[in-house]
Homo-oligomer: A and B are copies of this chain.
Amino acid sequence: MQQIPLFSGMTRTELGEIASRIIHRDYAKGSVIIGTGDRVPGIAIVNTGEVKACRYLPDGREQILYLFSEGDFFGERSLYRDDDSPYQVEALSDVKICHLYRADFQELLANPAIALRVISELGKRLARLESFAGSQDLDQQIPQLLLELTDKYGREQSGGLFVRLPLSREGIANYLGIARETVSRKLSQLESDGVIRPVGNKTLWIRDRAALARLADPLSKI
């Protein structure tokens, strides 16, 4: 409980109060936590594992909007709108989720510290989407995403920085809204530039993080 960022810094009593209302639930890898069109009953906090929020376009393509991992929350839309979920949330691995019904979470909002944390988190999501929005070309977007994944999932190991990717190439493509093959091509290019090196399909060896950061930041591209 205490390690949930949303509730950090609360008193023992408050935490107990919240804990009594939390519904713990486990989901197997691949299962749907919230389906498109489901009514969202409240907020959900990821305890263990990874989930993706995505939409399915009429032509069958998947569009990934968010990756949520330990400590992240979703379903906050239920706070202010009583309608169906605009996207689906699926487990990328076995996950443990803490659910809190809308009414219970709404009470918590009376605590300004919690309200501020929700606002801050939404602000971060906005900042991320803003930075991907607009005129970004792929030679920035892909390094930007790789950098993000590196900072979130990267590990120093046997003298190198390795990232175990939570997404397949197709997943990356669906996250960026581009074609699978384009991801392959751009990664190949980054490999021949000596920036990264794929190790199997699910791991990336980041050989030059600084170069990645340079490519990702449009301001440095003068």
Q: Which 10 A-B pairs have the closest CB atoms?
A: A134-B177, A115-B115, A80-B120, A135-B177, A129-B129, A122-B122, A63-B134, A58-B222, A109-B112, A110-B112
Interface centre among A63, A127, A174 (most CB of B within 10 A): A63
* Chain A interface SS verdict (over half): helix
Q: Which residues of the partner chain B approach A129 to less than 8 Å between Cβ atoms?
A: 126, 129-130, 133
In the complex, the chain B residue whose C-beta lies closest to that of A77 is B123
In the complex, the chain B residue whose C-beta lies closest to that of A179 is B135
> How many whole Å from A174's CB to the nearest CB in chain B?
8
List A residues 17-58 near B (Cβ within 8 Å): 57-58
Docked CA distance A65–B134 (Å)? 8
In the complex, the chain B residue whose C-beta lies closest to that of A63 is B134
Q: Which residues of the partner chain B approach A136 to less than 8 Å between Cβ atoms?
A: 177
List A residues 50-89 near B (Cβ within 8 Å): 57-58, 61, 63-65, 76-77, 79-81, 86-87
Indicate the size class of the contact surface on chain A. Answer: 35 or more
Q: Which residues of the partner chain B approach A64 to less than 8 Å between Cβ atoms?
A: 134
A221 at the interface (CB under 8 A from B): yes
Task: Name A's B-contacting residues (CB within 8 A).
Answer: 57-58, 61, 63-65, 76-77, 79-81, 86-87, 106, 109-110, 112, 115-116, 118-120, 122-123, 125-127, 129-130, 132-136, 174-178, 218-222
Docked CA distance A126–B79 (Å)? 15
Can you list 14 pairs linking A and B with CB atoms under 8 Å apart?
Answer: A57-B218, A58-B219, A58-B222, A61-B135, A65-B133, A65-B134, A76-B123, A80-B119, A81-B120, A110-B112, A126-B129, A129-B129, A134-B174, A134-B177
